[in-house]
A and B are shown apart, each in its own frame.
Chain A
């Protein structure tokens, strides 16, 4: 058994996840879930390398939370916090997503074709070989990459509209890096963040990520690769080091 079809119509998330877990336990590699309508926690805590779950519809919040290994492809928009505290695996969203996308994500990749809400990539972190990646095709709202402690965040503005037009970009960032296609108005930078133009070597570094993104959504990578990028990095790895004196 490698392919499993699940009809989620009228199904609560717990029995839905039980069906998914059972399918994975039985060796399914392809799981297609139809008629998804707001069910939260799809793939929550799910393990399974080499498993692909296709979600047809609009999943509820915390899609793929604590997930370790599987790939989830959403044919639709996603609610808030897809990839929340995700450990590894991939989430591909053919649409937009809500607030706190990739919250505290520690590994794997989240690709959002269109736009995301507030606090995208907040407190993403990395450790050794685990480096989470969030790529947003459209634009991101305020506080993108807030408290970011590691990982890579790329915002592309594919449609040509500016990807960042709100404040708090990278506020409190103390690790990791954010690449924004084009330029970023200094007024949008959060406290503790600074911007530099991405060098050719740095662009080279993110090239495979952009190609992966473009391939998944069937768009042309070349114009994206030809553009200039702004790199948002921490002004200090110790943003709070000088705030305190001892009693």
Chain B
């Protein structure tokens, strides 16, 4: 091998002064970094993915992990990452598979938008004292209401309303399938969603029967592989989501490797144990926007027009025109997944280079729908790279009705964003199906953590809104006047429809 070894990604060191050789690091590391030799802990740094499981469970704080301890000759073009990718592909001749979201250092637009607050001329609202309307509704809203007044003063609503989802916070949890994540992780999310009064997505992995008690808080997904989809599944969900694309890998399908298809996953997806679960790139009954309408109608017809149907797309160049087409397909919500969206596995080249940021996508979709006077026909759900409550406030001010979170819910359960979900070895019991690992995640504890996070973010959102003199999510929505761009270029500010700071 003429390339030879490349430097470690991480260097693990154990402080012999502090280590008491209890072996917890050996038990906890699922990547085989630690072993015991001559009553000392021996380390193989090459196996480390920096998931911090060892560090989190070391009772003596004896473990230290350093990233990229060895320097390459620095070069602004030939970065370490591109050189290592070339070494990898020169050895294997294969597509590089990566995990989690976009790892390319693009500027984050959210971080260049600032929020407003009241001073003197209009009073801010104290959420402790005043009611804050954090509840919102996802689904079609009628363009107008037809009413009839009866002689006794009663007013009758003549307009037929379509089903909406009532959410107590504009934060929902996006689709992470059983298969991509463990049943314990899904259970934790389901409990949290039920507790908070919001919704979670099942992903394209069917609905495990142990989650039936939470089905009122589930959005069941229909993706190109149609795994786990039958009439019972469609009827169980509070809403149905057609997945067209995913921000982490727009334009391509998904492959759940056979190793992750254990007996239980196989039963929920309704495919044989150990077989690859392949979701093709397109839905093969959708080759046009008219076909999409047909699938939306078929799902509504199958469930007797009782369920809202969402359509999820990746944020790509023409996202606004595509979303306008979806809004006319009789879908009830469009989910736009930005290029920072997470994933268990995606080709690195897609994860890092395909798609556009959610901030620009939301603003342009909202603007297009308003221009065409069909904004009321669909709700707009923003997802992909929502990291904190400020991102949610900004996404809603740019035009979203609500957001989906994914990675942040996993981080709330312990995920350290090590990005090796595709290996199925997750030491935190989240992105794995190995029983010895999944049992590490207690669904009860993890659900409290996820609920805590959503609760805290909702409180922060209420504070941010109150400070800006806004007392309902509806009043924040599309309220771009409460945003200013900081060091954004003029063309991007035009897309976002925000003014510069100071303007």
Contact = CB atoms under 8 A, between A and B. Distances in A.
Contacts of B428: none
A244 B94 contact: yes
A241 B278 contact: no
A123 B225 contact: yes
Interface string A216-238: 00000000000000000000011
A174 to B, nearest CB: 6
B234 A40 contact: no
Contacts of A80: 285
B258 interface: yes
A12 to B, nearest CB: 11
Given A14-B301, A40-B294, A123-B284, A237 B276 contact: yes
Interface string B115-131: 00000000000000000
Interface stretch (A61-69, A133-141, A206-214): A61-69
Contacts of A44: 298, 301-302
Contacts of B294: 40, 61-62
**Chain A interface residue bracket vs B:** 35 or more
Interface residues of B, number: 47
Interface string B241-259: 0000000000000010110
Interface stretch (A26-34, A146-154, A155-163): A146-154
B445 interface: no
Contact of B280 (A21, A66, A123): A123
B270 interface: yes
B260 interface: no
Nearest to A247: B98
Contacts of B91: 245
Interface in A170-206: 172, 174-175
10 contacts: A13-B301, A40-B298, A67-B231, A104-B226, A106-B226, A126-B271, A149-B275, A238-B258, A245-B88, A247-B99
Given A125-B271, A127-B270, A174-B278, 13 more contacts: A13-B301, A14-B301, A40-B298, A62-B294, A66-B231, A80-B285, A84-B298, A127-B272, A130-B270, A147-B278, A238-B258, A240-B255, A244-B347
Interface of B: 85, 88-89, 91-92, 94-99, 224-227, 229-231, 234, 255, 257-258, 266-267, 270-272, 275-276, 278, 280, 284-285, 294, 297-298, 301-305, 347-348, 419-420, 422-423
* A-B interface, 10 closest residue pairs, ranked by CB to CB distance from nearest: A45-B302, A104-B226, A245-B94, A244-B97, A245-B92, A247-B98, A127-B270, A41-B301, A45-B231, A87-B230
